[in-house]
Homo-oligomer: A and B are copies of this chain.
Amino acid sequence: MAEEAAVRAQAEAVRRLKQDKADPDEIAKEVAKLLEMKAQLGGDEGKQKFVLKTPKGTRDYSPKQMAIRERVFNVIITCFKRHGAEVIDTPVFELKETLTGKYGEDSKLIYDLKDQGGELLSLRYDLTVPFARYLAMNKITNIKRYHIAKVYRRDNPAMTRGRYREFYQCDFDIAGQFDPMIPDAECLKIVHEILRDLQLGDFLIKVNDRRILDGMFAVCGVPDSKFRTICSSVDKLDKMPWEEVRSEMVGEKGLSPEAADRIGEYVQLHGGLDLIERLLQDPKLSQNKLAKEGLGDMKLLFEYLTLFGITGQISFDLSLARGLDYYTGVIFEAVLLQQENDHVEEPVSVGSVAGGGRYDGLVGMFDPKGRKVPCVGVSIGIERIFSILEQRVQASEEKIRTTETQVLVASAQKKLLEERLKLISELWDAGIKDRFPKQATLQPLLRGTRDTMPLPIKSKKNLWSLSRRGE
């Protein structure tokens, strides 16, 4: 292997240069050469090539992207605070067993840390399970909190559509005993406020209840043992046509065709208070205890949403199932709508941007005595929203400011450096945001060209706001 010998020779050359304390520039050059040679060899030795990249499914945020991200966070945090929420933070990893048994089939997507001695750890998969762990650990039975942090899923990324392996969740949850459906209604109001304030266009919030789903399965003749797996099939209705979902139920999951057809009739229903009233009169469903409870609460919820004036964007939708195991009551999901070619037809969904629901059993799973704390919460999916806004900013050629510089201290002569440093230091100490020009922009100053003079004040708001050509 001539290449391998060349790499060894180069490595030896680098060692010698380092030993001889050669010019650091020269060493760096030779090291880079060595790295490149190794990278080209890479694959052959079973080693990966050195690639200059972020891990699969992750990305850096540039200053421009951060500026957009901050805008979105600002809208969300303002809303959460408006609703009286406190904020908490938890570690990025949890004991592995804290996450075990909480996510059903999705558990295979959890990132584990290497066993380097000590505890077995996993990166958090969402913010809900750490929140429940926090409540149980601190014996908190009543809190309204928000938490904005990154979560991790070893999923197949689709980054152009805003699907990452590392992504932000913005969670708002209400824990504690309250009058029925009051916190649930507040969560929906929050989703509505945020999507309205972000000005993402038309949206729809679909609402259902796990108890209505379970009751529906029961009256359709689904055996108890198949509730969760049939629920997973229903969950696919936003991506698949009914016929495919039906054949999965009957073919793969062994449900009787009659039961499937009965489900098929229910899951195409969506509406508002009228539909709830109709189902409360449904001869079968109204006989099922769970469904009746769920429908009663759904009616109450819609009454509150009517008081909030937001029912126009809310749809009671029997096809909404949600993936996670831990939901016990109301579930919901918000989708952005896209008018197709301006026709007034059925709007096309471009994907979910928020979701949540009630999980009254999760805290009890952590409490040593199984004490339960009823919870309901919402998670805003920031990455998809961020993708949309980023594309919009790019299309509009809007200029995004990435600094808050107010003053640029410049002079026509280099020897005034000391004066400039003294001046800039005074400005800093007075809390004025300024900036020492980089050498590149200093150059014209030294030549005394017209470019050196600051342009007149641009912003009326801020007397300090100067702007220079090319900035």
Contact = CB atoms under 8 A, between A and B. Distances in A.
A383 interface: no
Copies of the chain in the assembly: 2
Given A55-B94, A142-B438, A150-B92, A116 B121 contact: no
Given A21-B224, A28-B361, A224-B19, A88 B115 contact: no
A248 interface: no
Interface string A420-457: 01100100110111111011101000000000000000
Contacts of A225: 19
Contacts of A19: 224-225
A54 B98 CA distance: 9
Chain A interface helix/strand/loop/mixed? mixed
A84 B435 contact: yes
B368 A92 contact: no
Contacts of A82: 404, 428, 431-434
A163 interface: no
27 contacts: A19-B225, A21-B224, A24-B328, A24-B361, A28-B361, A48-B119, A50-B97, A51-B95, A52-B133, A52-B368, A54-B137, A58-B93, A60-B89, A60-B90, A60-B91, A61-B88, A62-B138, A63-B86, A63-B87, A63-B145, A92-B92, A144-B435, A176-B438, A179-B442, A182-B436, A186-B436, A189-B428
Q: Which 7 pairs, one residue from A and one from B, show the smallest C-beta to C-beta distance?
A: A32-B370, A84-B435, A63-B86, A58-B91, A61-B89, A112-B114, A28-B364
Given A21-B224, A32-B365, A84-B436, 10 more contacts: A24-B361, A60-B91, A62-B138, A66-B88, A82-B428, A84-B435, A113-B123, A189-B428, A307-B421, A308-B425
